Chain A
Amino acid sequence: DTGVSQNPRHKITKRGQNVTFRCDPISEHNRLYWYRQTLGQGPEFLTYFQNEAQLEKSRLLSDRFSAERPKGSFSTLEIQRTEQGDSAMYLCASSLSAVLSNTEAFFGQGTRLTVV
């Protein structure tokens, strides 16, 4: 297993177009997180899944954003009607949920979105 994989690494799109990103977590990890990072800032939480269930969503996740994890493995993050303000690095992380264990999150390389 090579870790958390995100595709594509870079995406340039025109304003108003829809984009979809994919995250493949570490195979045995049941928790998956999406974060967004704008220039000069730390990553901000967007949402997370335990298996296929989306347990928490940030208010940053407007109705143009949707995330899915249909089979509890890979996840997709879709942005509809993109705006220039959506330009950011979108990071995915995964971790193993275990009782009485502080489990570490592993991060992907991110997808850098540029909306022109």
Chain B
Amino acid sequence: KNEVEQSPQNLTAQEGEFITINCSYSVGISALHWLQQHPGGGIVSLFMLSSGKKKHGRLIATINIQEKHSSLHITASHPRDSAVYICAVRTSGTYKYIFGTGTRLKVLA
């Protein structure tokens, strides 16, 4: 079992839909990142969380440390949101990151 699990692995949505991507982890962490990777391969950091909730534009990220779970929400989804969304955790006591395998999102116009 991977230390960081994401669901779903693939998601297709219609433009305007509300989208939720989930991340569960089994290790102690000091921080959790949500990353976006476009087909060209480059990674953009969307959020870094250690507790609570953050919002940036149409994106919202939440984390529940006790349940070892985080969610990324996209409101009013748009085709340009199509990408792979990756959850990465920084393990406690180190600066090493463990990544989920990603959620491939496709938003149809």
A72 contacts the other chain (CB 8 A): no
B52 contacts the other chain (CB 8 A): no
**A43 adjacent to B41 (CB under 8 Å):** no
**1/0 per position for A77-116, CB-CB distance to B under 8 A?**
0000000000001010101010000101111111010000
B74 contacts the other chain (CB 8 A): no
Set B30, B90, B94, B99: member contacting A43, Cβ < 8 A: B99
Set A40, A104, A106, A110: member contacting B101, Cβ < 8 A: A40
Closest B residue to A97 by CB, please name it. Answer: B95
Count the B residues whose beta carbon is within 8 Å of the partner chain — how many?
Answer: 25
Given the known A-B contacts A89-B41, A106-B45, are A42 and B96 also in contact in the complex, defined by CB atoms under 8 Å?
A: no
Count the A residues whose beta carbon is within 8 Å of the partner chain — how many?
Answer: 27
**A42 adjacent to B102 (CB under 8 Å):** yes
Secondary structure class of chain B's binding surface, majority of residues? strand
**B95 adjacent to A109 (CB under 8 Å):** no
**B95 adjacent to A107 (CB under 8 Å):** no
Q: Provide the bound-state CA to CA distance between A110 and B43, in Å.
A: 8
B76 contacts the other chain (CB 8 A): no
**B41 adjacent to A102 (CB under 8 Å):** no
Residues of B within 8 A of A45 (CB): 96-98
Set A42, A93, A106, A110: member contacting B100, Cβ < 8 A: A42
Set A40, A48, A91: member contacting B43, Cβ < 8 A: A91
Q: In the assembled complex, how far is the CB of residue B48 from the closest CB belonging to chain A, in whole angstroms?
A: 4
A31 contacts the other chain (CB 8 A): yes
A33 contacts the other chain (CB 8 A): yes
In the assembled complex, 15 residue pairs joining A and B whose CB atoms fall closer than 8 Å, in A order, are A41-B101, A44-B99, A45-B98, A48-B95, A48-B96, A50-B95, A102-B50, A105-B90, A106-B45, A107-B43, A107-B45, A108-B42, A109-B41, A110-B41, A110-B43
- Chain B residues packing against A (C-beta within 8 Å): 4, 30-31, 33, 35, 40-45, 48, 50, 86, 88, 90, 94-102
